[in-house]
Chains A and B, each alone.
Chain A
Amino acid sequence: MTEIGVIPSLLRICLILVLISAACLLTTRNLSSLVRTYALQSLILVAIAILLGVIEQKNILLLIAGITLASKVIGIPWFITVIQKRIRIQQDLKFSYLQPGGALVVSILLILLVYLCFSRVLHDLVTQNSLFFLGSIIGVSLMLMGLIAIFSRQLAITKVIGYLSMENGVLLFGLFVTELPFITEFVIMVDLIILVLLTTILTVGMDSSIDAYMNRLKEFHLWSEEEVQA
């Protein structure tokens, strides 16, 4: 019994770690540590899914943990790292709209807002199971923090990581609020992978296409060499 008693507090610790990783995603400038943070965040999600699976005695959660591990902890971060080497950008220094400090303040406000809204809507869940209530709040908060990352980051590749973090938030929310059919979770993962493939390939295209376009202009002698350089 004591083991079961430990698990909820472990879950709480994991949830807090998720929030901390989201804060790191908002503030880190180095691209490779961004990807590592994302992989770590997904790993915490895997841990949460396994712990929940132990509490609720459901094998489906272990399956979800499995595909999350394969796709989000290993697959996608590896792919982004490969792409990142191709485009030779190490850092995303510029922020638009919000600087990291401001972004953190806004996220804290958003978490409070989500808490206030959900305590009114999900009142049954608050009284029944405070852990699940906390989980759903942190899920939505993580999603909103990912949204801030998309807004405030400028490079497409960091935006992709913001999007992925949002998706982690949705997964977290889904884990705590209800159990979706496994096939739904699986297809979403496939959708996510296609999306990441496409966006990252487009980011590479974005760098190479400018040259290709300029070359084509030179080919047709529309612009002289100097004008293209300028």
Chain B
Amino acid sequence: MTILLTMLYPVVTVLILLLQAVQHSHRLMSLLGVLHSAATLLITILLVVTPDTWKGGEPLFMIDHLNLLLMLVTGLIFTCASIYAVGYIDGLVRAGELNRRSLRIFYIGFSLLLFATTMAYFAPNVAQYWIFAELTTVFSALLVAILAVKENIDASLKYIFVCSTSMLFSFIGVIFLFELVRQKTGTGSLDWQMILANASTCDSGMLGIACIFCFIGFAAKSGIVPLHTWLPEAHAKAPSAVSAVLSGAILNVGMYGIIRIAGIVHQTTIATQISLLLIIFGMITMSVACFSMLKQTGTKRLIAFSSIENMGFLLLASGIGTPVALFWMLYHMMGHSVVKAGLFFSAGIIHRQYKSHIPGAEDEIGDLFRMQPFAAAAFIIGSVAIIGTPLFPLFLSKFGILLQAGNLSLYIPLLALLLFALAGVAMFRFILAIMGRTFADGEAPVQYIVPMWMKAPVVFLLALSVLMGIMMVPGEEAFFSAAVHDIGIGGGL
């Protein structure tokens, strides 16, 4: 049963890719993209609701609570992004920014990116995860470069170089892990479960080195300082539908590797040292991101730095390493993805409206509420949600993680709260600045009519984030606890 269900992922992908390759109509290509993401989401939901079927091991896919949870978010974000893209990409083509000949490459790249992400999550061993994580870099870089403007190609090349070179360090770590398991069991293995089971008896010094090497690459994938330099460029320059996917789904791929490795380290005697390392880098990332947010003048760059801040916070939570902290960390990942995608979508509408004709110049925003009331409201609600206001999911997770951090040292929550305040100030200073501006008579650009395709995902994601913040679906808590258990830390709450 499970084999059938999981095999649907590659089968659907191949079908969609074939159809897209022969399709000429733009509208149909984009609808195929929606169909692919929706089908992936549906398969994931089916897997989530039938937990009894995937308990056994399988050769190609490893399915547990942790990767299903992340896959659920990924499917959701991709579905919303592909719906949004129907309107957005059409607008790009009309405005002459995207060449018609690039359309097929765009949609095929989008589907391949979804497939690579899926396979990275369900990979049963580290090497397979590494390869698919690397492929997500390649495909998303292709999507960043699709506009074929110099800045985009620059951003895309930077993205590839920073991530791929760092991922090579991870591969050294993977080789180390293989050798460690081989010393233990005679035959080498890279299975996540196998490494986790043998970690406690391995040479802890060498395991520590292996994990640090692994962290380098996975940290670059999730935009941890000092390997974050690609992130603001790529996220800001990419078409907004792609930015949302990069921020909401692809950053989580790196985080997934970090949690798995953190779980492995947690079995050994060096857990405290590695935890300290994670906490330090988490704090550095948050600080750099929050201070950088203060001086941003572009909408999408501001949101991109906010992603770095949240990734730093997730790293901090994984460093704390208690079951409760990890529970909230997973919750934070979900909440962040949903809210962040919504923010990028509304920023995309604002960008379409106020796009500057001078290449490389910032958007000139003015008369925001008169010209784009929907986007303005959505952007403000999204900003309120992302800084962790009550009623929204990020409040719960930030609260939960900081309480756990307080057990280690009071300075961590204190500093973190200060940084959150800074991020909030940065967000609202920016909003006030863009709201205050008005155009002189006759200088305002022509109003951009927002298609329904672009509005619907924003409304849906914001509503979903409120829903997540005020109620828990029955069984949600148990599912998250089981996911924490899958990491290899503690027995849930």
Residues of chain A whose beta carbon lies under 8 Å from any beta carbon of chain B: 117, 120-122, 140, 143, 147, 150, 156, 159, 163, 166-167, 169-170, 173-174, 177-181, 184, 187-188, 191, 194-195, 198-199, 202-203, 205-206, 209-210, 212-213, 216-217, 219-220, 222
Contacts and interface: CB of A to CB of B under 8 A. Distances in A.
Give the interface SS of chain B, mostly helix, strand, loop or mixed.
Answer: helix
A186 to B, nearest CB: 10
Contacts, number: 100
A166 B165 contact: yes
Contacts of A206: 150, 153-154, 157
B172 A173 contact: yes
A216 B172 contact: no
Contacts of A191: 131, 134-135, 138
A205 B148 contact: yes
Interface in B137-185: 138, 141-142, 145, 148-150, 153-154, 156-157, 160-161, 164-165, 168-169, 171-172, 175-176, 178-179, 182
B127 interface: yes
Leading 6 A-B pairs by shortest Cβ distance: A178-B179, A184-B127, A206-B153, A209-B148, A222-B357, A174-B175
B328 to A, nearest CB: 34
13 contacts: A143-B168, A163-B165, A166-B168, A170-B172, A179-B188, A184-B190, A191-B138, A194-B138, A199-B157, A199-B160, A202-B153, A206-B153, A220-B96
Interface of B: 96, 127, 131, 134-135, 138, 141-142, 145, 148-150, 153-154, 156-157, 160-161, 164-165, 168-169, 171-172, 175-176, 178-179, 182, 188, 190, 205-206, 209, 357, 359
Contacts of B149: 209, 213
Given A180-B127, A191-B131, A194-B138, A150 B165 contact: yes
Given A203-B157, A213-B148, 8 more contacts: A140-B172, A163-B161, A170-B168, A170-B171, A187-B131, A202-B156, A205-B148, A209-B153
Nearest to A210: B150
B164 A163 contact: yes
Contacts of A140: 172
A174 B154 CA distance: 32
B160 A195 contact: yes
A212 B102 CA distance: 14
A184 B206 CA distance: 22
